[in-house]
Amino acid sequence: MLGELLTVKRRREDDAVAAMAEARRALERERDACRAQEREVAEFETWQAAERTRLDAALFHKRVTRDRLDEHRERIGALRQRHADLEEKLALARQALAAAEEAFGNARRKRLDAHREVVKFEEYERTLEEERRRATERREDEEAEEVLSGRLRNGDGFMARPGGER
C-alpha cells in the first residue's frame, strides 16, 4: 500500500514538474511579448516625434487655412490616439506578464510541495524497512539464542566437561 501511495506521489511530482515547465514557457512567451510591445512603443515614440516635427514644419511660417489647421490637428490627434492604444497594449502585456509570473510561482510552489511529499514518503518507507530489518534480526537472534540455550539445557552443547567427557 505504501508503495502505491509513493507511486501516486511521484506521479503528482512529475505532473507538477511538467506544469512548472509549461508555466516557465508561458512566462517566457509573455516576457517576449512584453519586450516586443515595449520596443513597438519606443519605436512609435521616436517616429511620432519625427512625424510631428515634419507636420509642424509643413505649417511653419505659412499661411494656413482653417481646414488645413483642422487637418493638422486631426493628424496630431491620430498620433496621440495611436500612442495611447500602444500604451494600453503595453499595460495589458505587463498585466499578462505579472499573471504569468504569479502562475509560475504557484507552479513552482506546487512542485516543491510535491517533491517534499515524495521525500517524506521515501523517508517513511526507509524507516519502515529499517524497522522490519531490525525486527527480522531480533527474531533471528532470539531463535539462535533459543537453539543454543536448548542445546545447553539438553546437554547437546559442545562445551567440554571436566575430565574430557561430553
Question: Per-residue pLDDT for 166 more than 50?
Answer: no
Under CATH, which number does the domain 2-153 receive? 1.10.287.1700
How far does CA 154 lie from the centroid of its chain?
A: 69
- Nearest to residue 21, comparing CAs of 117, 116, 107? 107
At 152 the pLDDT is 67
Average pLDDT estimate for 27-51: 97
DSSP state of 155: T
- How many residues comprise the chain? 166
Q: 0.85 exceeded by the pTM? A: no
Tell me: the pLDDT tens digits for 131-150? 999 999 999 998 888 888 87
Average pLDDT estimate for 24-30: 97
Tell me: the pLDDT tens digits for 124-134? 999 999 999 99
Q: Where are the beta strands (DSSP E) in the chain?
A: none
> Residue 34 — pLDDT band, cuts 50, 70, 90?
very high
Question: Per-residue pLDDT for 100 more than 70?
Answer: yes
Average pLDDT estimate for 76-95: 97
- CA 113 – CA 119 distance, rounded (Å): 10
- CA 156 – CA 166 distance, rounded (Å): 9
The larger pLDDT score, comparing residue 114 to residue 57, is at 114
- For the chain, the domains span 2-153
